[in-house]
Structure 1
Amino acid sequence: MSASFETPLPLTLTLHGVRLEPLGLHHAPALRAAAEDGALWQLRVTSVPEPHEVDAYIHKAIAQRPTRLAFAVVDAASGALMGTTSYHDIVPAIGRLEIGYTWYGKRHQRTHVNTTCKLLLMTHAFETLGAALVGLRTDNFNHASQAAIERLGAKKDGVLRHHAVRRDGTVRDTVMYSITAGEWPEVKAHLRDKLARHGVR
Protein backbone atom coordinates (compact mmCIF):
# COMPACT_ATOMS: atom_id res chain seq x y z
CA MET A 1 0.00 0.00 0.00
CA SER A 2 1.13 3.57 -0.67
CA ALA A 3 2.84 4.81 2.49
CA SER A 4 0.69 7.93 2.67
CA PHE A 5 -2.68 6.55 1.50
CA GLU A 6 -5.45 5.49 3.87
CA THR A 7 -8.17 3.16 2.55
CA PRO A 8 -11.49 5.03 2.90
CA LEU A 9 -13.80 3.76 5.61
CA PRO A 10 -17.54 4.49 5.98
CA LEU A 11 -18.03 8.08 7.14
CA THR A 12 -20.33 11.07 6.82
CA LEU A 13 -19.35 14.30 5.03
CA THR A 14 -21.41 17.52 4.99
CA LEU A 15 -21.10 20.79 3.05
CA HIS A 16 -23.50 23.45 1.72
CA GLY A 17 -26.59 21.61 2.90
CA VAL A 18 -25.55 18.32 1.28
CA ARG A 19 -24.77 15.28 3.43
CA LEU A 20 -23.00 12.16 2.20
CA GLU A 21 -23.62 9.16 4.42
CA PRO A 22 -22.85 5.45 3.95
CA LEU A 23 -25.46 3.86 1.67
CA GLY A 24 -27.48 1.17 3.43
CA LEU A 25 -30.60 -0.90 2.93
CA HIS A 26 -32.62 1.59 4.99
CA HIS A 27 -32.14 4.01 2.07
CA ALA A 28 -33.86 1.66 -0.40
CA PRO A 29 -37.36 3.27 -0.47
CA ALA A 30 -35.95 6.78 -0.91
CA LEU A 31 -33.38 5.64 -3.50
CA ARG A 32 -36.19 3.97 -5.42
CA ALA A 33 -38.13 7.25 -5.40
CA ALA A 34 -35.05 9.13 -6.62
CA ALA A 35 -34.66 6.72 -9.55
CA GLU A 36 -38.36 7.14 -10.38
CA ASP A 37 -37.90 10.93 -10.48
CA GLY A 38 -37.31 11.16 -14.21
CA ALA A 39 -37.45 7.37 -14.85
CA LEU A 40 -33.67 7.47 -14.88
CA TRP A 41 -33.20 3.75 -15.52
CA GLN A 42 -34.56 4.27 -19.04
CA LEU A 43 -31.40 6.16 -20.02
CA ARG A 44 -29.17 3.59 -21.75
CA VAL A 45 -25.95 5.44 -20.93
CA THR A 46 -26.36 5.31 -17.14
CA SER A 47 -26.30 2.54 -14.54
CA VAL A 48 -29.34 3.69 -12.56
CA PRO A 49 -31.22 0.63 -11.25
CA GLU A 50 -34.83 -0.07 -12.10
CA PRO A 51 -37.12 0.36 -9.05
CA HIS A 52 -37.33 -3.41 -8.41
CA GLU A 53 -33.52 -3.66 -8.57
CA VAL A 54 -32.73 -1.09 -5.89
CA ASP A 55 -32.31 -3.54 -3.00
CA ALA A 56 -29.91 -5.67 -5.06
CA TYR A 57 -28.07 -2.50 -6.15
CA ILE A 58 -27.45 -1.55 -2.51
CA HIS A 59 -26.49 -5.12 -1.52
CA LYS A 60 -23.93 -5.20 -4.34
CA ALA A 61 -22.48 -1.82 -3.36
CA ILE A 62 -22.00 -2.96 0.24
CA ALA A 63 -20.50 -6.29 -0.87
CA GLN A 64 -17.90 -4.46 -2.98
CA ARG A 65 -16.17 -2.96 0.06
CA PRO A 66 -13.27 -2.24 0.44
CA THR A 67 -12.79 -1.51 -3.27
CA ARG A 68 -16.00 0.57 -3.34
CA LEU A 69 -17.55 2.85 -0.73
CA ALA A 70 -21.07 3.97 -1.66
CA PHE A 71 -22.82 7.06 -0.27
CA ALA A 72 -26.40 8.26 -0.11
CA VAL A 73 -26.64 11.93 -1.11
CA VAL A 74 -29.02 13.57 1.36
CA ASP A 75 -30.49 17.06 1.80
CA ALA A 76 -29.10 17.94 5.23
CA ALA A 77 -32.08 20.15 6.15
CA SER A 78 -34.96 17.90 5.16
CA GLY A 79 -33.32 14.49 5.24
CA ALA A 80 -34.60 13.81 1.70
CA LEU A 81 -32.43 11.48 -0.37
CA MET A 82 -31.33 13.10 -3.63
CA GLY A 83 -29.19 10.37 -5.19
CA THR A 84 -26.04 8.35 -4.70
CA THR A 85 -22.31 8.43 -5.45
CA SER A 86 -19.30 6.27 -4.64
CA TYR A 87 -15.58 5.95 -4.25
CA HIS A 88 -14.71 2.91 -6.37
CA ASP A 89 -11.83 1.03 -7.96
CA ILE A 90 -9.82 1.90 -4.84
CA VAL A 91 -6.18 0.80 -5.27
CA PRO A 92 -4.31 1.49 -2.00
CA ALA A 93 -0.95 0.31 -3.39
CA ILE A 94 -0.74 3.33 -5.69
CA GLY A 95 -3.01 5.80 -3.86
CA ARG A 96 -5.65 5.78 -6.59
CA LEU A 97 -9.42 5.80 -6.43
CA GLU A 98 -12.26 6.85 -8.67
CA ILE A 99 -15.52 8.71 -8.06
CA GLY A 100 -18.52 7.31 -9.88
CA TYR A 101 -21.79 5.38 -9.73
CA THR A 102 -23.17 8.91 -9.44
CA TRP A 103 -26.77 9.82 -10.20
CA TYR A 104 -29.42 12.16 -8.82
CA GLY A 105 -33.19 12.42 -9.08
CA LYS A 106 -34.15 14.69 -11.96
CA ARG A 107 -35.18 17.59 -9.71
CA HIS A 108 -31.67 17.72 -8.22
CA GLN A 109 -29.81 17.67 -11.52
CA ARG A 110 -28.21 20.92 -12.75
CA THR A 111 -28.10 22.27 -9.20
CA HIS A 112 -25.17 22.80 -6.82
CA VAL A 113 -25.51 19.23 -5.53
CA ASN A 114 -23.09 17.49 -7.90
CA THR A 115 -20.38 20.15 -7.57
CA THR A 116 -20.73 20.04 -3.78
CA CYS A 117 -20.45 16.24 -3.74
CA LYS A 118 -17.34 16.29 -5.90
CA LEU A 119 -15.77 18.99 -3.70
CA LEU A 120 -16.51 16.92 -0.58
CA LEU A 121 -15.22 13.64 -2.00
CA MET A 122 -12.10 15.06 -3.63
CA THR A 123 -11.19 17.14 -0.57
CA HIS A 124 -11.43 14.01 1.58
CA ALA A 125 -9.55 11.88 -0.97
CA PHE A 126 -6.62 14.25 -1.45
CA GLU A 127 -6.38 15.97 1.94
CA THR A 128 -7.33 13.19 4.37
CA LEU A 129 -6.72 9.90 2.57
CA GLY A 130 -3.61 11.11 0.77
CA ALA A 131 -4.68 10.06 -2.73
CA ALA A 132 -2.21 10.57 -5.54
CA LEU A 133 -4.94 10.58 -8.19
CA VAL A 134 -8.74 10.63 -8.42
CA GLY A 135 -10.26 9.19 -11.56
CA LEU A 136 -13.68 9.60 -13.18
CA ARG A 137 -15.22 7.69 -16.07
CA THR A 138 -18.33 7.76 -18.23
CA ASP A 139 -20.00 6.26 -21.29
CA ASN A 140 -18.71 7.60 -24.60
CA PHE A 141 -22.28 8.55 -25.56
CA ASN A 142 -23.02 10.26 -22.23
CA HIS A 143 -22.06 13.69 -23.50
CA ALA A 144 -23.75 15.49 -20.59
CA SER A 145 -21.63 13.53 -18.11
CA GLN A 146 -18.45 14.20 -20.08
CA ALA A 147 -19.19 17.93 -20.10
CA ALA A 148 -19.91 17.88 -16.34
CA ILE A 149 -16.64 16.08 -15.61
CA GLU A 150 -14.69 18.50 -17.79
CA ARG A 151 -16.32 21.45 -15.99
CA LEU A 152 -14.87 20.09 -12.76
CA GLY A 153 -11.39 20.58 -14.18
CA ALA A 154 -10.53 16.91 -14.78
CA LYS A 155 -8.16 16.00 -17.60
CA LYS A 156 -9.19 13.49 -20.27
CA ASP A 157 -6.85 10.48 -20.17
CA GLY A 158 -8.29 8.60 -23.13
CA VAL A 159 -10.93 6.09 -24.21
CA LEU A 160 -11.10 2.39 -23.32
CA ARG A 161 -12.71 0.83 -26.36
CA HIS A 162 -15.16 -2.09 -26.08
CA HIS A 163 -14.92 -1.82 -22.30
CA ALA A 164 -18.26 -2.56 -20.58
CA VAL A 165 -21.75 -3.91 -21.28
CA ARG A 166 -24.68 -1.50 -21.15
CA ARG A 167 -28.09 -2.49 -19.79
CA ASP A 168 -29.37 -2.99 -23.36
CA GLY A 169 -26.61 -5.49 -24.15
CA THR A 170 -24.52 -3.20 -26.34
CA VAL A 171 -20.87 -2.69 -25.43
CA ARG A 172 -19.72 0.80 -24.56
CA ASP A 173 -16.46 2.65 -24.92
CA THR A 174 -15.47 4.28 -21.63
CA VAL A 175 -14.05 7.80 -21.46
CA MET A 176 -11.48 8.12 -18.65
CA TYR A 177 -10.60 11.33 -16.78
CA SER A 178 -8.41 12.13 -13.79
CA ILE A 179 -7.16 14.78 -11.39
CA THR A 180 -3.73 14.44 -9.75
CA ALA A 181 -2.75 15.60 -6.27
CA GLY A 182 -0.63 18.33 -7.87
CA GLU A 183 -3.62 19.63 -9.81
CA TRP A 184 -5.97 19.51 -6.83
CA PRO A 185 -5.34 23.00 -5.33
CA GLU A 186 -6.31 24.68 -8.61
CA VAL A 187 -9.32 22.39 -9.12
CA LYS A 188 -10.45 23.02 -5.53
CA ALA A 189 -10.28 26.79 -6.02
CA HIS A 190 -12.23 26.40 -9.27
CA LEU A 191 -15.00 24.36 -7.58
CA ARG A 192 -15.29 26.82 -4.72
CA ASP A 193 -15.52 29.72 -7.15
CA LYS A 194 -18.10 27.87 -9.21
CA LEU A 195 -20.29 27.35 -6.14
CA ALA A 196 -19.83 30.95 -5.00
CA ARG A 197 -20.92 32.26 -8.41
CA HIS A 198 -24.13 30.28 -7.99
CA GLY A 199 -24.74 31.81 -4.55
CA VAL A 200 -23.58 28.78 -2.57
CA ARG A 201 -21.19 29.66 0.25
Structure 2
Amino acid sequence: MIRVDPVTLAFNGVRLEPLAPHHADGLRAAAADGELWTLRVTSVPAPQETGQYIRTALETSNRCAFAVIDAASGTVIGSTSYHDILPAVDRVEIGYTWYAGSRQRSHVNTSCKLMLLAHAFDTLGCAVVGLRTDNLNLASQAAIERLGAGKDGVIRHSALRRDGSVRDTVMYSILRSEWPAIRTRLHARLNAYGPAC
Protein backbone atom coordinates (compact mmCIF):
# COMPACT_ATOMS: atom_id res chain seq x y z
CA MET A 1 0.00 0.00 0.00
CA ILE A 2 1.53 3.29 -1.11
CA ARG A 3 2.00 6.29 1.16
CA VAL A 4 2.33 9.73 -0.43
CA ASP A 5 4.11 12.28 1.75
CA PRO A 6 5.22 15.81 0.81
CA VAL A 7 8.63 15.71 -0.84
CA THR A 8 10.91 18.04 -2.81
CA LEU A 9 12.01 16.78 -6.22
CA ALA A 10 14.58 18.37 -8.53
CA PHE A 11 15.70 17.62 -12.07
CA ASN A 12 16.86 19.44 -15.19
CA GLY A 13 16.67 22.95 -13.74
CA VAL A 14 13.17 22.47 -12.30
CA ARG A 15 12.27 21.94 -8.64
CA LEU A 16 8.98 20.70 -7.21
CA GLU A 17 8.39 21.93 -3.67
CA PRO A 18 5.40 21.09 -1.46
CA LEU A 19 2.90 23.90 -2.10
CA ALA A 20 2.70 26.34 0.82
CA PRO A 21 1.18 29.76 1.61
CA HIS A 22 4.49 31.52 0.90
CA HIS A 23 4.15 30.52 -2.78
CA ALA A 24 1.05 32.73 -3.22
CA ASP A 25 2.77 35.77 -4.76
CA GLY A 26 4.79 33.58 -7.10
CA LEU A 27 1.72 31.65 -8.23
CA ARG A 28 -0.11 34.92 -8.82
CA ALA A 29 2.72 36.16 -11.05
CA ALA A 30 2.92 32.83 -12.90
CA ALA A 31 -0.81 32.88 -13.60
CA ALA A 32 -0.57 36.48 -14.83
CA ASP A 33 2.04 35.35 -17.39
CA GLY A 34 -0.50 34.63 -20.11
CA GLU A 35 -3.63 35.49 -18.05
CA LEU A 36 -4.14 31.76 -17.66
CA TRP A 37 -7.14 32.05 -15.33
CA THR A 38 -9.19 33.29 -18.30
CA LEU A 39 -8.94 29.88 -19.98
CA ARG A 40 -12.16 27.96 -19.48
CA VAL A 41 -10.59 24.49 -19.32
CA THR A 42 -7.85 25.00 -16.73
CA SER A 43 -7.62 25.02 -12.94
CA VAL A 44 -5.45 28.16 -12.81
CA PRO A 45 -6.51 30.56 -10.03
CA ALA A 46 -7.45 34.15 -10.75
CA PRO A 47 -5.10 36.61 -8.98
CA GLN A 48 -7.50 37.24 -6.10
CA GLU A 49 -8.08 33.48 -5.69
CA THR A 50 -4.47 32.36 -5.24
CA GLY A 51 -4.62 32.13 -1.45
CA GLN A 52 -7.82 30.09 -1.57
CA TYR A 53 -6.32 27.88 -4.29
CA ILE A 54 -3.43 27.00 -1.96
CA ARG A 55 -5.72 26.49 1.05
CA THR A 56 -7.97 24.15 -0.94
CA ALA A 57 -4.98 22.15 -2.19
CA LEU A 58 -3.61 21.78 1.33
CA GLU A 59 -6.98 20.87 2.86
CA THR A 60 -7.80 18.16 0.28
CA SER A 61 -6.95 14.90 1.99
CA ASN A 62 -6.09 12.87 -1.11
CA ARG A 63 -3.99 15.54 -2.83
CA CYS A 64 -0.27 16.34 -2.59
CA ALA A 65 0.31 19.68 -4.32
CA PHE A 66 3.58 21.19 -5.55
CA ALA A 67 4.85 24.59 -6.59
CA VAL A 68 6.93 24.34 -9.76
CA ILE A 69 10.11 26.38 -9.32
CA ASP A 70 12.79 27.51 -11.78
CA ALA A 71 15.81 26.21 -9.88
CA ALA A 72 18.24 28.84 -11.16
CA SER A 73 16.16 31.89 -10.24
CA GLY A 74 13.88 30.50 -7.53
CA THR A 75 10.88 31.83 -9.46
CA VAL A 76 7.54 30.08 -9.13
CA ILE A 77 6.48 29.06 -12.64
CA GLY A 78 3.40 26.93 -12.01
CA SER A 79 1.85 24.15 -10.00
CA THR A 80 1.10 20.43 -10.26
CA SER A 81 -0.24 17.73 -7.94
CA TYR A 82 -0.65 14.12 -7.13
CA HIS A 83 -4.37 13.73 -6.49
CA ASP A 84 -7.12 11.14 -6.16
CA ILE A 85 -4.59 9.07 -4.25
CA LEU A 86 -5.89 5.53 -3.65
CA PRO A 87 -3.40 3.72 -1.39
CA ALA A 88 -5.39 0.47 -1.33
CA VAL A 89 -4.84 -0.05 -5.07
CA ASP A 90 -1.45 1.74 -5.32
CA ARG A 91 -2.84 4.45 -7.60
CA VAL A 92 -2.24 8.18 -7.89
CA GLU A 93 -3.21 10.70 -10.53
CA ILE A 94 -1.14 13.61 -11.78
CA GLY A 95 -3.09 16.77 -12.45
CA TYR A 96 -3.97 20.33 -11.49
CA THR A 97 -0.98 21.09 -13.71
CA TRP A 98 -0.33 24.50 -15.20
CA TYR A 99 2.66 26.65 -16.09
CA ALA A 100 3.30 30.33 -16.76
CA GLY A 101 2.66 31.15 -20.40
CA SER A 102 6.34 31.82 -21.07
CA ARG A 103 7.26 28.31 -19.82
CA GLN A 104 4.78 26.41 -21.96
CA ARG A 105 6.17 24.38 -24.87
CA SER A 106 9.51 24.21 -23.08
CA HIS A 107 11.37 21.49 -21.19
CA VAL A 108 9.42 22.27 -17.99
CA ASN A 109 6.40 20.00 -18.45
CA THR A 110 8.49 17.05 -19.65
CA SER A 111 10.87 17.49 -16.70
CA CYS A 112 7.98 17.64 -14.22
CA LYS A 113 6.29 14.57 -15.68
CA LEU A 114 9.57 12.64 -15.50
CA MET A 115 10.03 13.58 -11.84
CA LEU A 116 6.46 12.79 -10.84
CA LEU A 117 6.24 9.52 -12.76
CA ALA A 118 9.66 8.35 -11.54
CA HIS A 119 8.75 9.15 -7.94
CA ALA A 120 5.36 7.44 -8.30
CA PHE A 121 6.64 4.24 -9.88
CA ASP A 122 10.23 3.93 -8.63
CA THR A 123 9.91 5.33 -5.10
CA LEU A 124 6.28 5.00 -4.05
CA GLY A 125 5.72 1.71 -5.85
CA CYS A 126 2.55 2.73 -7.69
CA ALA A 127 0.88 0.14 -9.89
CA VAL A 128 -0.78 2.79 -12.05
CA VAL A 129 -0.68 6.56 -12.54
CA GLY A 130 -3.78 8.25 -13.91
CA LEU A 131 -4.21 11.52 -15.77
CA ARG A 132 -7.42 13.31 -16.69
CA THR A 133 -8.42 16.36 -18.66
CA ASP A 134 -11.40 18.31 -19.94
CA ASN A 135 -12.82 16.91 -23.17
CA LEU A 136 -12.48 20.40 -24.69
CA ASN A 137 -8.80 20.68 -23.76
CA LEU A 138 -7.41 19.17 -26.94
CA ALA A 139 -3.87 20.42 -26.24
CA SER A 140 -3.82 18.60 -22.91
CA GLN A 141 -5.19 15.42 -24.47
CA ALA A 142 -2.50 15.54 -27.16
CA ALA A 143 0.23 16.06 -24.55
CA ILE A 144 -0.99 13.12 -22.45
CA GLU A 145 -1.19 10.90 -25.50
CA ARG A 146 2.36 11.90 -26.51
CA LEU A 147 3.46 10.59 -23.11
CA GLY A 148 2.24 7.17 -24.16
CA ALA A 149 -0.62 7.00 -21.66
CA GLY A 150 -3.53 4.73 -22.53
CA LYS A 151 -6.95 6.28 -22.96
CA ASP A 152 -9.32 4.64 -20.50
CA GLY A 153 -12.48 6.41 -21.59
CA VAL A 154 -14.68 9.42 -20.98
CA ILE A 155 -16.70 10.17 -17.87
CA ARG A 156 -19.64 12.16 -19.16
CA HIS A 157 -21.12 15.13 -17.32
CA SER A 158 -18.57 14.80 -14.51
CA ALA A 159 -17.41 18.20 -13.23
CA LEU A 160 -18.15 21.91 -13.27
CA ARG A 161 -15.99 24.29 -15.28
CA ARG A 162 -15.24 27.73 -13.89
CA ASP A 163 -17.93 29.25 -16.15
CA GLY A 164 -20.62 26.97 -14.66
CA SER A 165 -20.88 24.62 -17.63
CA VAL A 166 -20.45 20.88 -17.04
CA ARG A 167 -17.55 19.07 -18.63
CA ASP A 168 -16.92 15.55 -19.80
CA THR A 169 -13.61 14.20 -18.43
CA VAL A 170 -11.19 12.18 -20.54
CA MET A 171 -9.34 9.59 -18.43
CA TYR A 172 -5.89 8.14 -19.15
CA SER A 173 -3.51 5.87 -17.28
CA ILE A 174 0.03 4.49 -17.30
CA LEU A 175 0.70 1.02 -15.88
CA ARG A 176 3.92 0.16 -14.08
CA SER A 177 4.84 -2.20 -16.94
CA GLU A 178 4.56 0.71 -19.41
CA TRP A 179 6.75 3.07 -17.39
CA PRO A 180 10.20 2.00 -18.72
CA ALA A 181 9.24 2.75 -22.34
CA ILE A 182 7.62 6.04 -21.36
CA ARG A 183 10.68 7.05 -19.32
CA THR A 184 12.87 6.43 -22.39
CA ARG A 185 10.53 8.48 -24.55
CA LEU A 186 10.55 11.41 -22.10
CA HIS A 187 14.36 11.42 -21.89
CA ALA A 188 14.54 11.43 -25.69
CA ARG A 189 12.18 14.41 -25.79
CA LEU A 190 14.36 16.30 -23.30
CA ASN A 191 17.45 15.57 -25.40
CA ALA A 192 15.69 17.24 -28.31
CA TYR A 193 15.49 20.48 -26.27
CA GLY A 194 19.28 20.54 -26.10
CA PRO A 195 21.72 21.16 -23.24
CA ALA A 196 20.47 24.68 -22.47
CA CYS A 197 17.54 23.27 -20.52
Range class of TM-score, shorter chain: over 0.9
Alpha-carbon distance in 2 for matches of 1:38, 1:191: 26
1:99 to 88, 94, 103: 94
Letter in 2 for 1:114: N
Answering whether residue 16 of structure 2 is matched by residue 33 of structure 1, we say: no
Alpha-carbon distance in 1 for matches of 2:107, 2:81: 18
Residue deviations 1:24-77 (CA, integer Å, cap 9, x gap): 000000100111111111111111111000000000101113x10000000111
Aligned-residue CA RMSD (Å): 0.9
The equivalent residue for 1:125 is 120
Displacement of 1:199:
1.1
1:182 aligned counterpart, secondary structure: helix
Aligned positions of 1:121-160 closer than 5 A: 121-160=116-155
Displacement of 1:96:
0.4
Displacement of 1:115:
0.5
Letter in 2 for 1:59: R
TM-score (norm 1): 0.96
2:83 to 79, 82, 88: 88
Answering whether residue 6 of structure 2 is matched by residue 10 of structure 1, we say: yes
1:60 to 56, 61, 67: 56
Displacement of 1:198:
1.5
TM-score (norm 2): 0.98
5+ residue gaps, structure 2, are: none
Alpha-carbon distance in 2 for matches of 1:135, 1:177: 6
2:53 aligned counterpart, secondary structure: helix
Displacement of 1:171:
0.3
Answering whether residue 103 of structure 2 is matched by residue 108 of structure 1, we say: yes
Displacement of 1:151:
1.0
Alpha-carbon distance in 2 for matches of 1:52, 1:69: 22
Query: How many correspondences in the alignment?
Result: 196
| Runs of 4+ residues over 6 Å off in structure 1 | none
2:177 aligned counterpart, secondary structure: coil
Sequence identity, in percent?
63
Residue deviations 1:145-190 (CA, integer Å, cap 9, x gap): 1011111111111100000000111000000011000000100011
Letter in 2 for 1:9: D
Letter in 1 for 2:81: S
The equivalent residue for 2:70 is 75
